[in-house]
Amino acid sequence: MNGVASPALALTGAAQWPPLHFTQVLDDDLGPATVVLDQHHAAFRVLSGWMAVDRGAATVTLHAPRPAQASDIAHPLLWPAAAVFARWRGAETVHAGAFRLPGQDGAWAVLGASGNGKSSLLASLALAGCEVLVDDLVIVEGNSCNAGPRCIDLKLDAAAALGIDAQTTLVRASERRRMALAPCAGSAELCGFIHLGWSASITVTLSRPSENLSTLAHHRRVLGIGANARHIFELAGLPMVRFGRPRSWEAMGESRDVLVGSLGRFLE
């Protein structure tokens, strides 16, 4: 991403990705009242202002009354623009994170609605030795998912419960604690999906392909550009694990370990 120098964007093997040019314009323009999206342009509001995205020029322009912090540009400001460009390229975009188990090449995407503990689970997995590829947006091209910013932004109580306050930095107007991730490869083969939920006990079960389709549809991003139905059906054919666990910080470590120990059997 030209014009954005940040360790949060440190990936290897991603030289083939098309470059995007990011600029900021300081003004008080509020931008469009609703999302503008077609095959060549997009415009939408973000927390600090609004963004104009131009496909042909490969540009992302942030309009805001004040300069954005570099940490905020890397995440979360760039992900909506990245999602739009990915859909223009024909890739699928899913509100999810992704990680790889130690010693394995393939990645699992983690689906979860806001409040379902996706980021805290990914942080816990990282602390247990898994490689987290991305926290908030999974871009799937063919059978591979792309990595994203090298950080996980946690709510303050999540960072405290994980005992990593000292290893994080305050970001996003001091509302999140950022856990840094090491550089990683730009993409990995997608093994399957993990769909998060809360339950009285720890459960790890395989869902039916018919359920997979509706779950993926619910978590897709950038709906206004259409969809490649064949690609979505292929993704729905991958294993999707339903992972239920108690809504308790005390159960985090045990539930994570049960999940990690269970995933291998779904690839046999």
Instruction: Give 6's pLDDT tier (boundaries 50, 70, 90).
Output: low
Instruction: Give 139's pLDDT tier (boundaries 50, 70, 90).
Output: very high
Per-range mean pLDDT, top range of 28-32, 61-65, 76-80, 261-265: 61-65
User: pTM score, two decimals?
Assistant: 0.93
Return d(Cα 197, Cα 245) in angstroms, integer.
7
Element (H, E) at 160: helix 156-162
Q: Tens of pLDDT along 85-113?
A: 999 999 999 999 999 999 999 999 999 98
Return d(Cα 268, Cα 248) in angstroms, integer.
31
Q: Please report, for the chain, the start and end positions of each structural domain, with discontinuous segments joined by +.
A: 7-89, 93-262
Q: How far is CA 7 from the centre of its chain?
A: 17
Residue 257's CB is within 10 A of a number of other CB atoms, namely 13
What is the CATH architecture assignment of 93-262? 3-Layer(aba) Sandwich (3.40)
